[in-house]
Amino acid sequence: MNRLLTTILCILVLSITGCSVSDYNIPASPIEIPLIEDTLQHDNGLERVNATVLYVIDGDTYEVLTEKGAKFKVRALLVDSPESTKEVMAWGLESSSFTKQLIEGKKVILEYDKGERTDKYNRHLCYIYLEDGTRLQDLLLRAGLATVRYVYPPNTTHLDWLKSQEKIGRQQKLGVWSIPYYVNADGSYNSEAVAASNYERDLTKDGMIVASELIEHQVEGYIDDTLGPQGGELVDQLIGDQIEKGITDGIKSIIDSVFK
């Protein structure tokens, strides 16, 4: 009887609240990242160094070996990925894994900008290009696995373009943008927003359970009184399987309307 009772009450509540399944906001899934413009095909006069990535430390920091034998750490210029080493932040592990698949153990081209070449930790500040000429920063931003951050002129040659790539990930609510208020205005990350999102998710699950129990309690008596116990069971057997998905979507819409 549970599925039939749930469906009936869902229909009643949806008709009152005006909610529909389409109102339930499901964040977009990561998409395939196509090749982009503004890559090594353009000679901008910036110094470039050939290297091999020995190890990916996290989404924006790597250890490389140049073709001349120099070994050092590189910090991806103008972007910031969530932490995944000392502190594991939301989407940090995904950013690190994404980057490892792209560049670890592979040849890259490092490009320095016009300003400071290293940061206070003596990491080289570079744009990183894959062998096909695609810039790593662009891919991280488009996938929502990094934000534009640490902007210090004159290291801003590609800043406008990188902002446009970040906008793509933000508009599609990918990665870090899938968590409301996770990204601050300066591109840093707000861990409290993650905790709030997790709390709302768990509360929503609890609400769905309570809603199902309430539905059964309120409607079961009416169905049995109207159709009789045997009639109610027969109706449930005939249409229960067909409406199972509609039940889940209906309850989600109801709960979502409460939290908005």
Out of 75, 94, 142, 166, pick the active-site residue. Answer: 75
What is the signed CA dihedral for 171, 176, 181, 186, rounded to 10 degrees?
A: -90
Instruction: Measure the CA–CA gap between 3 and 163, rounded to whole angstroms.
Output: 48
Q: How many residues does the chain have?
A: 260
**Residue that the structure tokens 């990535």 belong to:** 53
φ/ψ (deg, to 5) at 64: -130, 165
Count Cβ atoms below 10 Å from residue 213 Cβ, excluding itself.
12
φ/ψ (deg, to 5) at 219: -105, -25
Out of 3, 111, 123, 135, pick the active-site residue. Answer: 123
Q: What is the amino acid identity at position 162?
A: L
Residue pair 176/144 in contact (Cβ under 8 Å)? The answer is yes
**Residue that the structure tokens 């929503």 belong to:** 204
Three-class SS state of 51 = strand
Annotation says 123 is catalytic = yes
Greatest Cα pair distance in the chain: 86
Annotation says 131 is catalytic = no
Count Cβ atoms below 10 Å from residue 84 Cβ, excluding itself.
22
Annotation says 117 is catalytic = no
Instruction: List active site positions.
Output: 75, 83, 123
